[in-house]
Amino acid sequence: MSNKKPTITLPSMLSFERKLETSDGLMFAGNWEDIGKDNTVKEVKRINGKEIESTEHIWNHISIGDPRKNRGTKSMYSIMDKDIEKVEPNVAEGDDANLPMDKDTLKVSFSLRLVGSLGAPFACNKPDFADAIQAKVKEFKASDEIDDLAFRYAYNIANGRFLWRNRVGAEEVEIQITIHGEETPLTFNAYDFSLKDFEKNKENEKLATLTAAIKKGLVGDEENNFAFMNVDAFVKLGNGQHVFPSQEMNMGEKKKKLFHLGGCAAMHNVKIGNAIRTVDTWYGTQMMIKAEGKRKTETVDVDIRLPIAAEPYGSVTQHGRAYRPSGNDFYTLMKSWLNEVDIEADQRKYVVANLIRGGVFGGDSEA
């Protein structure tokens, strides 16, 4: 009788809960010199001989302005010669958001909760798979490999990657993180940390504190080792400058529609989360692209390798690239790991980063 263990295959029903739960990010306007001040200012004014107390806020909601209609040119590649000089305008219409003319700083505020029970499937119709993945992740959480993942999540908060376009060209960017149970926030100059890698200022002591808080949430269960934090980012852009809330999918319409909550300009929680989980620099040297109607594999230029969000196929849709084609993808690596095929430590980190990402991962149970 053979003692060979049966091959563990992918369940047809498999999902994992997201472990980095971010709120939407609200956007406020203020001035750089007001950072750290109490947001509520009370003033007593004398009106018609009576003293009247009024309350003002230093940081106020940024509103989505009325849609602007601009006269634009027709600049698409497909425009024919006979249409290039047509006088009728190409009307560009869309929502807009700006700092007021007397305010120079954007504030973005959101919260982050670390959800425990990492490695436990939310849904799985193959008990052997569920047992195997939980055993492997338990080993992972007991090793120092979890530290590197927690460090990269912390780094992406400290460098303000979640600000996306709002970070570009800013004079100054300050990030404040208040960890649940702590009174004093951790304060970072976002420019002390790189967007291109995770090496610059990696020994920062406050970064180590933030890393430990994130790790505590990831290695715990849902009832213990609770981890929660509030994040405030301050971006000095200049008086009246554009700010960039999330843009809503507006299928079938050209009009740009910006995301808001109760009239306050905001950033989607998914967009913030995608930035925080931009940790994958382990994707190898091959990528899949589509050119001339055909898919083909090209070599990644290692000199300009940048972090990408942890995705099952390393997809970066805005660039039309998949950095983890078949054989180097999440499913292949996860099945290899569970079936005792040796995979590199960095690829184990990538697999667990996808479990932290969460999602529906089921497939052919016999594959």
Q: Which of 4-18, 41-55, 251-265 has the highest mean pLDDT?
A: 4-18
53 against 315, higher pLDDT = 315
Please provide the average confidence, as pLDDT, over all residues in the chain: 88
User: What average pLDDT does the segment 110-129 reach?
Assistant: 94
69 against 292, higher pLDDT = 292
**Model confidence at 91: pLDDT above 90:** no
**Model confidence at 3: pLDDT above 80:** no
275 against 91, higher pLDDT = 275
**Model confidence at 13: pLDDT above 80:** yes
* pTM confidence score: 0.90
pLDDT at 367: 42
pLDDT digits (tens, 9 = 90+) for 181-220: 998 999 999 999 999 999 999 999 999 999 999 999 999 8
C-alpha atoms less than 13 angstroms from C-alpha of 190 in its C-beta half-sphere = 28
pLDDT at 185: 96
**Model confidence at 363: pLDDT above 90:** no
**Model confidence at 70: pLDDT above 80:** no
Backbone angles phi, psi at 33, to 5 degrees: -70, -10
